[in-house]
Amino acid sequence: MRFQPILRRAFLVMAVGVAASFVAGAPAFAASPAEDYVQNNINKGLDILNNKQISTDQRRSQFEGFLLGLTDMKRIADFTLGQYRRTASPADLAAFEGAFQNYATAVYQSYFSKYAGQSMKVTGSQARTPDDFIVVTQLIDPNDHSGQQPLEVDFRVRTDTGKPVVVDFSVAGIWLALNERDQFTSFLGQNNGNIPMLVSHLAELAKQFRNG
Amino acid sequence: MGFWRALTFVWCGLCLTACASAPPTPEMIANNDPYEPTNREMLQLNGKIDRYFVVPTVAVYFVLVPDPGRRAVHRFLENLSLPTTFVNDILEGQLKRGGQTAARFAINTTIGFGGFLDPASHMKIPDHGEDFGVTLGVWGVGEGPYLVLPFLGPSNARDAFGLAADVGLDPTNQIPFKQHIWWDAGRYYFTVLDLRGQTFQTVQTIQRSSIDYYTALRGFYRQLRANAVRTVRPDKKLQDLPDF
């Protein structure tokens, strides 16, 4: 069972993958344009992560700006609430969406620097529906001589709004938004659906990561 | 005998889990985790064993054995697992992958000095792992309820049985020699050290970033195992993604 070695690189890719997520682009996608879209945005994110000409703080700032400028955190945040989305008040929902954005950017920024020098290559894609694509990439580590297959990272690209949006990505088969939904709904299930409590926890986690 | 000992251990763990659990809630059943309270307690217990025994032992291992030595131990242990991987490749009907596994084992065991070196990777022969839990999944057996096994961590009913079966399937366990139990103990001890050493930062990351570590681990495990089955059965790759 190769559970642990795969997870060793999982959080690296989450930092890089979120950078490539949720970007506006051209409508009416075939699979190949979805691949181009992912590759172009991966490259932008990796350029920021691998830029040694700027300080760590500047790199973090640029990375966060890139994420916030190009992401649709609201869509993912709403998904991760699961069944609690339907009964959430508008105020709770807005607070959660803000907390989720803060949490996601803080957590993945804290790990981006560990894997500088690595790259991603798009290797193909599959269309689940005419507006739902899975773009497959491989994480290339030039220093990895273990003989193991390169880590596969998949991006789920939706075009149902007319613009391509990455709504989730997976590392070695682990879909991030799905895992977050499991966690958040489990937490809410144990706490009587208390969204403000979840918001508070997310804020605390984000603070811990921002403080190192 | 190794298979029956392993199966007995796993069965005892399962019985303990079943006996100790309160009736499952509808949410637990929906999550296919009817033993969640016991699983959570087991995760906490495993965490204490990890914190007070395993991690300090790993720290000593890191101090006493330099990095090149630890990598050699890792390669040796990986090589030892290849016979089991080969058997499962064949059981899954993956003849090409089985051939690669056999080639890696032959090359690394001989010119790789028993597996301490890895010339097979330099020859670009790809590496992969297989186990009987995945084989059962390829055959169509469902994962069954989620379990957290003593010492061994996340699993499910299918994979727990598969774990025991792998002990029986491992050809190296069929070699009769007097000190077999000490060989087994040493091998599994160093496997724990090796795995824990490699996963220390990853586990820390999951613990720090999780709202609910138990649920995060459960989700990671399930998705990883499902992906391992899909790797062998690519026709199932797109089945289980929700729309959003």
Residue B234 CB-density burial (10 A; 0-12 exposed, 13-18 middle, 19+ buried): exposed
Q: Are strands A174-175 and B153-156 parallel, antiparallel or unpaired?
A: unpaired
- Model pLDDT for residues A6-22, shown as the tens digit of each residue: 555 555 445 444 444 43
Pick from B175, B165, B155: nearest CA to B131: B165
- The answer to whether the CB atoms of A172 and B224 lie below 8 A apart is yes
Q: Which of A147, A172, A187 sits opposite B120 (nearest CB)?
A: A147
B142 CB-side CA count, 13 A = 4
Count of CB atoms situated within 10 Å of the CB of A145: 10
Chain B CB contacts of A113 below 8 Å: none
Size of interface A-B (CB pairs under 8 A): 118
Domain assignment of residue A25, given as a range: 4-211
pLDDT above 90 (res B76):
yes
Q: Is B142 on the interface with A (CB under 8 A)?
A: no
Beta-ladder partners of B156: B146
Is the pLDDT reported for residue A73 higher than 60? yes
Q: How far is CA B122 from CA B81, B84, B164, in A?
A: 19, 22, 33
B209, B211, B243 member nearest A187 (Cβ) = B211
Between residues B181 and B52, the one the model is more confident about: B52
Q: Average pLDDT of B128-139? A: 94
Q: Express each pLDDT in A170-186 by its tens digit.
A: 887 888 889 999 999 99
Kindly state whether B223 is in contact with chain A, defined as any CB-CB distance less than 8 angstroms: yes
Q: Do B244 and A167 touch (CB under 8 A)?
A: yes
Q: Enumerate the residues of chain B whose CB falls inside 8 A of the CB of residue A149.
A: 126-128
In chain B, what residues touch A178 (CB-CB under 8 Å)? 219, 223, 241-242
CA of A190 vs chain B CAs: smallest distance (Å): 10
Gap between the Cα atoms of A177 and A74, Å rounded? 12
Residues of chain A contacting residue B131, judged by C-beta atoms under 8 Å apart? 1
In this complex, do B215 and A172 lie within 8 Å of one another by their Cβ atoms?
no
**Mean pLDDT, rounded, of chain B:** 86
Q: Which of A31, A21, A9 is nearest to A150 (CA)?
A: A9
The least confident of A55-59, A82-86, A98-102, B137-141 is: A55-59
**Any A CB within 8 A of B27 CB:** yes
CA distance B128 to chain A (A): 7
Contacts of A209 in chain B (CB under 8 A): 208-209
Find which of A186, A188, A208 to mutate to test the B interface (most B CBs within 10 Å of its CB): A186
More confident site: A68 or A160: A160
Q: Do B223 and A209 touch (CB under 8 A)?
A: no
Burial of residue B109 (CB within 10 Å: 0-12, 13-18, 19+) is middle
Decide if B154 contacts B218 (C-beta within 8 A).
yes
* Residue A69 distance to chain B (closest CA, Å): 21
Note the pTM of the prediction, 2 decimals. Answer: 0.83
C-alpha A36/C-alpha B197 separation (Å) is 38
Total number of domains in chain A? 1
Over residues B12-70, the pLDDT tens digits come to: 555 555 555 578 888 888 889 999 999 999 999 999 999 999 999 999 999 999 999 99
- A38-71 pLDDT, tens per residue? 888 877 887 887 788 888 778 878 887 877 766 6
Q: The tokens 């499910």 sit on which residue?
A: B156
A183 vs B215: CB contact, 8 Å cut-off?
yes
Contact A131, A31 (CB under 8 A): no
Measured between alpha carbons, how far is B231 from A152 in angstroms, rounded to an integer? 11
Contact across the interface for A183 and B195, Cβ inside 8 Å: no
Element (DSSP H or E) covering residue B148: strand B146-149
Q: With helix as H, strand as E and coil as C, how does A27-47 read?
A: CCCCHHHHHHHHHHHHHHHHH
Name which of B31, B219, B238 is nearest A179 (Cβ-Cβ). B219
Predicted local confidence at residue A105, as pLDDT: 82
**What is the spatial distance between Cα A153 and Cα A164, in angstroms, rounded to a whole number?**
18
Distances in Å between the Cα of B96 and the Cα atoms of A154, A209, B106, B232 are: 25, 45, 15, 12
Nearest CA in chain A to B166: A1
Q: What is the dihedral of CA A124, A126, A130, A132, to 10 degrees?
A: -90
Q: What is the pLDDT of residues A105-124, one digit of tens each?
A: 877 666 555 556 778 889 99
Write out the H or E segment, with its range, that includes residue B188: helix B180-209
CATH code for the domain in which residue A74 is found: 3.10.450.710
B176-192: burial string, b at 16+ Cβ within 10 Å, e else: eeeeeeeeeeebeebbb
Amino acid identity of B103?
A
- Residue B106 to residues A30, A147, A187, B78, Cα–Cα distance (Å): 45, 16, 49, 13
Contacts of B228 in chain A (CB under 8 A): 2, 173
Closest partner residue to A148 among B127, B206, B220, by Cβ?
Answer: B127
